Chains A and B, each alone.
Chain A
Amino acid sequence: EVQLVESGGGLVKPGGSLRLSCAASGFTFSNAWMSWVRQAPGKGLEWVGRIKKKADGGTTDYPAPVKGRFTISRDDSKNTLFLQMSSLKTEDTAVYYCTTFDYAAFEIWGQGTMVTVSS
């Protein structure tokens, strides 16, 4: 069964850091482009960033709101995706979803992990 399981969410103070993980199973993780999408409480979905597979250069892309603060990385030996978040703001409070990315679309979704930024 294809599955993505996020972990690492929690409560963090403004200006703090947090690292999320996403464990992948049921597919060849090293062949997949991966992405993070978030959803603030009561709001819509927002793309947070993407990492290509190493064969395609392993490069990353980020939207303006998180560029320079968030970093996506991957450990293909452990089938795990990471999202390192720093200089966190209250507006980063959201459920963070890990997804595969194929044909320019988010294909498989995890169940999400909640991040709360509050003093």
Chain B
Amino acid sequence: QTVVTQEPSFSVSPGGTVTLTCGLSSGSVSTSYFPSWYQQTPGQAPRTLIYNTNTRSSGVPDRFSGSILGNKAALTITGAQADDESDYYCVLYMRGGISLFGGGTKLTVL
């Protein structure tokens, strides 16, 4: 069974840059998986950040960027701010029309 992998937790200093990754338990992530990224704060619905690997959703600041780094999808946050402290989830679109979420990364800004 294929699993989408994410770092369980990460921390970044205010103003710093952090890259979160999204991999596969077997194989490499490519643009063919149309990776997307979501931000969620406790008690709130998720917010779409990035779709189709590197396209920012409407209203998302350009501090957030998506890419493929090596064999993984990546979400980079530059100039981290206090309100970036959230859970971040990636999704890969698999064969057969299955959407698979990663387990999420809890980002701390301190």
Contacts and interface: CB of A to CB of B under 8 A. Distances in A.
A32 to B, nearest CB: 14
A56 to B, nearest CB: 11
A41 B64 CA distance: 28
B100 to A, nearest CB: 7
A61 B47 CA distance: 23
B51 A104 contact: yes
A107 B46 contact: no
Given A106-B38, A106-B91, A97 B46 contact: yes
Tell me whether chain B's interface is mostly helix, strand or loop, or mixed. Answer: strand
B52 interface: yes
Nearest to A48: B99
Given A97-B46, A105-B34, A105-B91, A47 B51 contact: no
A9 interface: no
Contact of A45 (B34, B89, B93, B98): B89
Given A44-B89, A44-B103, A45-B101, A105 B96 contact: no
B46 A45 contact: yes
Contacts of A93: none
Contact of A105 (B45, B51, B98, B100): B51
Interface string A84-97: 00000000000001
Given A61-B96, A61-B97, A45 B104 contact: yes
A105 B104 contact: no
Interface of B: 34, 36, 38, 40, 45-48, 51-52, 55, 57, 87, 89, 91, 93, 96-104
16 contacts: A37-B46, A37-B101, A44-B87, A45-B38, A45-B46, A45-B89, A45-B101, A47-B101, A63-B98, A97-B46, A105-B34, A105-B52, A106-B46, A106-B99, A109-B47, A111-B45
